[in-house]
Chains A and B, each alone.
Chain A
Amino acid sequence: MLRGIDLCIEDGEFVVLVGPSGCGKSTLLRLIAGLEEASSGEIRIGDRIVNELAPKDRDVAMVFQSYALYPHMTVRQNLSFSLQLRGLSKDKIDDAVKAASAKLGIEELLHRKPRALSGGQRQRVAMGRALVRDPKVFLFDEPLSNLDARLREQMRYEIRKLQRELGTTTIYVTHDQIEAMTMADRIVAMNAGVVQQIGTPAELYDEPANLFVAGFMGSPAMNFAEVSLVQDGDGVIVLMGIDRLGRIAPPPVVREDHRAILGVRPERIALGAPASGLAARIELLEPTGPGTIVHVRLGAQRLQVFATERLAAGVNDTIGLTVAPGDLRLFDPDSGEAVRCPKS
C-alpha cells in the first residue's frame, strides 16, 4: 500500500529507495517495472505514461534479489535471451554479450550454468543480463543482500562505478542505509508506504525531516532524548532534565508546553574531562576499530557516543560530554517532524 508518492527522477540519476522491510520500496520498484498495477496515479518513463504498458514494452531492466537467472540456460544464453526476443541478428547478439561480459569480467563463465557459479558471479551475470540490453532504466531490488559483507562492499563500488560510466538512470532498492548513503545521488527514505524524505545522502543524514529518517539513517543510531525548551532572549535553551545541553539561536518555533525530542548524532558528542561538560558515567565500551562506541548514562538518559580517539577512561568512569549547539536537532514529540530552525 503506497500513498502520495510524488517522485521525479532526473535522467542519469542514481536514486536509492531505502526503508525497513514492508515499507513499500519494493512495491514501488515493481510498479515502475510493470510487475504490479497501480490503482491510481501516473507513472512516466521519459515522456511516456507507462501505466498501461506491459513490462516488456517499458524498456527497463531489473536485477532481482534472487538474481533470477534462468537455471536451464548457460550464462551466454541468459545474457542473450532478451536480445533474441527482440530479433537481433546473431552477430549483434554476440557482440553485445561480449561487450557486457568483458565489462563485468565474466567472459570465462559464459559456458557455465548458473548453478555452477558463486554468489558474486551470479550477481555479475544478473547485472550483465540487465546491461546487455542498454535499457532506459536500471532497477535493482536488494541485489546485494545475499552476498557476504566483503563482497557486498566490492559490488557496491562496482555497481556505482558502472552506473557512472553508462550514465543510465538507476533506481536501487535496499534496506541497508549504508548502501543508500554510499551509492545514492539522492535517497528516498520510505516508511509504511509513505515517502518520508527525499534528498542527498548528506541532507538526510544532517537534516533529517522527521524522527523516522533521523533514526533510520546512520549507525550507530542517532540519540534521542526528551527535552524542554526555555526561551532565553533571542535564543532557546535546551534542557534535558536539569542539564543544560546548549543554547540555540536564532530560536526555533517552541510549543506551548516547551517539550521537544532532541536528536544528536553519536559522533557529534565530544568527550572530555568530567569538568569540561555534562558529567556522564560510562556503562559499556564497544571498540569498532576506527573508533569506539561509548554507551554513557547522563541522569536517567542513555546515550551512545562515537569516539574516534582512543579512550583512557574505562567502564564506570565519569566523563564530560559537550555538544555544539549546531549539532542539536529538535523534533516535535507528537508529529515527529523536525522543528525547523531559521537559518542564521
Chain B
Amino acid sequence: MQRHGKAYWTLHYAMLGFFVVAALLPLFWLLKVSVTPNDLMYGEGVRLWPTRATLEHYRSVLRLGQFPLFFRNSVIVAAGTALASSVLASAAGYGFSRFRFRGKRWIIGLMLVTQMFPLVMIVAPIFRMLAPLGLTNSLTGLILVYTAFNVPFASFLMQSFFDAIPADLEEAAMLDGATRLAAACRIIVPLTLPGLAATLGFVFTAAWSELLFALMLNSSSAAVTLPVGLLVFVSKFSVDFGQMMAAGVLALLPVCVFFVFVQRYLVRGLTAGAMKG
C-alpha cells in the first residue's frame, strides 16, 4: 500500500469522491426540493440550498389523509414479499447447491428465462389470472406477484451463498447425529445469515419501489403502495414537487433504516464468495 505516491492517492480519492457525489446528488436534490418553500421553488434558479428551508411539505404530506395508509401498505407488501421470497429462495438455493436431481438444469434454466423479458409484457395476463381469484386491489395479490418475480434471482443469490459453505460442515453435523434438516438449521443457516440479509434487503427494496404492477393491479386506494401514492402529487396541470419530494424522502427512510441494520451482514455477504475457507 505504501508503494503508491501522493498523486496516486489523490487521484484515487478524487475518483471515489466523484462517484459518491454522482450517486448521491439526486438524493440530495430530493431532500433539497422537499424543504424548499413553494414560493422559492422556481424563483431562485439552481442553488444547492434554498435561502429559507421549511418542513411544511412534510406536514402536509403526513396530514394528507392517505399517505400513512400508503406507507402501511408498502410496509406490508415489501415485508411480506421479502419474507416469503427469502424463505422460498433459501429452500430452493439450498436444493440447487446441495442436491443432484433430475431436471435440475431445466428448472434453473426456466427460472433464468423468467428474468429475461420485460414485465410489461405479462401485466395483462397476470391481471386476467388474478382478477377471478379476487387478488386484484389486494395486498396479498401484490405479495404473490412480487414473490413470484423475485424468487428466481433470490434463489441464485442464496445458492451462491450456500455454495460458499463447505458441504463438510453439514456432513460433520449429520455424523454428529443431526438430520439433514437439523444440520441445515443449526449449522448452515447461522452461517448464511449475511447472505440471507443480502437477499432480504434486495427483495425488500425491489418490492418497496415497484411501480408497474402496483399501478396496474390496483384501482382502489385501499391497496395503493408508496410508489403509486407518489403519483397523487401529479395532477393534470401541475406537479406538486415539494410534497412529492417530501413523500419521497419519507419513503426512503424505512429502506435506509433497514440497510443500517443489515449493512454489516450485507458487506460480508456480498464478499463471502471471494474469501472461501
A56 to B187, CA, bound (A): 15
Q: Check B172–A85 contact: CB distance below 8 A.
A: no
Q: Check A129–B176 contact: CB distance below 8 A.
A: yes
Q: Check B176–A64 contact: CB distance below 8 A.
A: no
A64 to B171, CA, bound (A): 9
Whether A82 contacts B177 in the complex (CB less than 8 A), given A71-B191, A72-B191, comes out as yes
Interface positions of A from 123 to 180, Cβ below 8 Å from B: 129, 133
For B273, list chain A residues within 8 Å (CB): none
For A65, list chain B residues within 8 Å (CB): 168
- Other-chain contact of B175, A55, A71, A86 (Cβ < 8 Å): A55
Whether A82 contacts B168 in the complex (CB less than 8 A), given A70-B187, A71-B191, comes out as no
- Other-chain contact of B176, A54, A66, A81 (Cβ < 8 Å): A81
For A35, list chain B residues within 8 Å (CB): 171, 174-175
Q: Check A68–B174 contact: CB distance below 8 A.
A: no
A81 to B186, CA, bound (A): 10
Q: Does B179 contact A (CB under 8 A)?
A: yes
For A82, list chain B residues within 8 Å (CB): 176-177
Q: Check B177–A68 contact: CB distance below 8 A.
A: no
For B254, list chain A residues within 8 Å (CB): none
Q: Does B17 contact A (CB under 8 A)?
A: no
User: What sequence of 0s and 1s flags, for each residue 236-278 of chain A, a beta carbon within 8 Å of any chain B beta carbon?
Assistant: 0000000000000000000000000000000000000000000
- Other-chain contact of B179, A33, A54, A66 (Cβ < 8 Å): A54
Q: Check A33–B190 contact: CB distance below 8 A.
A: no
User: What sequence of 0s and 1s flags, for each residue 51-69 of chain A, a beta carbon within 8 Å of any chain B beta carbon?
Assistant: 0001110101110111010
Whether A56 contacts B175 in the complex (CB less than 8 A), given A64-B168, A66-B166, comes out as yes
A70 to B182, CA, bound (A): 14
A62 to B171, CA, bound (A): 9
Whether A56 contacts B172 in the complex (CB less than 8 A), given A66-B166, A70-B187, A72-B191, comes out as no
Q: Check A68–B182 contact: CB distance below 8 A.
A: no
Nearest A residue to B171 by beta-carbon distance? A35
For B169, list chain A residues within 8 Å (CB): 68, 70-71
* Number of chain A residues whose Cβ lies closer than 8 Å to a Cβ of chain B: 23
Q: A-side binding surface: helix, strand, loop or mixed?
A: loop
Q: Check A54–B173 contact: CB distance below 8 A.
A: no
Q: Does B41 contact A (CB under 8 A)?
A: no
Q: Check B173–A70 contact: CB distance below 8 A.
A: yes
Q: Check B176–A85 contact: CB distance below 8 A.
A: yes
* Number of chain B residues whose Cβ lies closer than 8 Å to a Cβ of chain A: 18
Nearest A residue to B179 by beta-carbon distance? A56
- Least Cβ distance of A293 to chain B in Å? 36
- Least Cβ distance of B176 to chain A in Å? 4
Q: Check A85–B178 contact: CB distance below 8 A.
A: yes
Q: Check A56–B191 contact: CB distance below 8 A.
A: no
Q: Check B191–A33 contact: CB distance below 8 A.
A: no
- Least Cβ distance of A45 to chain B in Å? 13
Q: Check A64–B177 contact: CB distance below 8 A.
A: no
Nearest B residue to A30 by beta-carbon distance? B171
A34 to B177, CA, bound (A): 12
Q: Check A85–B182 contact: CB distance below 8 A.
A: yes
Nearest B residue to A35 by beta-carbon distance? B171
- Least Cβ distance of B169 to chain A in Å? 5
For B177, list chain A residues within 8 Å (CB): 56, 82, 85-86, 133
Whether A68 contacts B179 in the complex (CB less than 8 A), given A35-B174, A56-B174, A81-B173, comes out as no
For B168, list chain A residues within 8 Å (CB): 64-66, 68
For A71, list chain B residues within 8 Å (CB): 169, 191
A62 to B169, CA, bound (A): 11
Interface positions of B from 149 to 197, Cβ below 8 Å from A: 166, 168-169, 171-179, 182, 186-187, 190-191
Specify which of A82, A86, A133 lies most central, judged by the most chain B CB atoms within 10 Å of its CB. A82
For A85, list chain B residues within 8 Å (CB): 176-178, 182
For A68, list chain B residues within 8 Å (CB): 166, 168-169, 171-172
User: What sequence of 0s and 1s flags, for each residue 249-274 of chain B, a beta carbon within 8 Å of any chain A beta carbon?
Assistant: 00000000000000000000000000
For B175, list chain A residues within 8 Å (CB): 33-35, 55-56, 58, 60-62
Nearest B residue to A85 by beta-carbon distance? B177
- Least Cβ distance of A12 to chain B in Å? 20
A32 to B186, CA, bound (A): 24
A129 to B173, CA, bound (A): 10
Q: Check B172–A64 contact: CB distance below 8 A.
A: yes
- Least Cβ distance of B84 to chain A in Å? 26
A70 to B179, CA, bound (A): 16
For A66, list chain B residues within 8 Å (CB): 166, 168, 277
For B172, list chain A residues within 8 Å (CB): 62, 64, 68, 70, 129
For A61, list chain B residues within 8 Å (CB): 175-176
Lowest 8 A-B CB distances belong to which pairs?
A: A82-B176, A68-B168, A68-B172, A85-B177, A55-B174, A56-B177, A64-B168, A72-B190
Residues of chain B at the chain A interface (Cβ within 8 Å): 166, 168-169, 171-179, 182, 186-187, 190-191, 277
25 A-B pairs with CB atoms under 8 Å apart are: A33-B171, A33-B175, A34-B174, A35-B174, A35-B175, A54-B174, A54-B179, A56-B176, A56-B179, A61-B175, A62-B171, A64-B172, A65-B168, A66-B166, A66-B168, A66-B277, A68-B171, A68-B172, A70-B169, A70-B172, A72-B190, A81-B173, A85-B176, A85-B177, A129-B176
11 additional A-B residue pairs with CB within 8 Å, beyond A33-B171, A81-B176: A33-B175, A34-B175, A35-B174, A54-B179, A56-B175, A56-B177, A68-B171, A71-B169, A72-B191, A82-B176, A85-B176
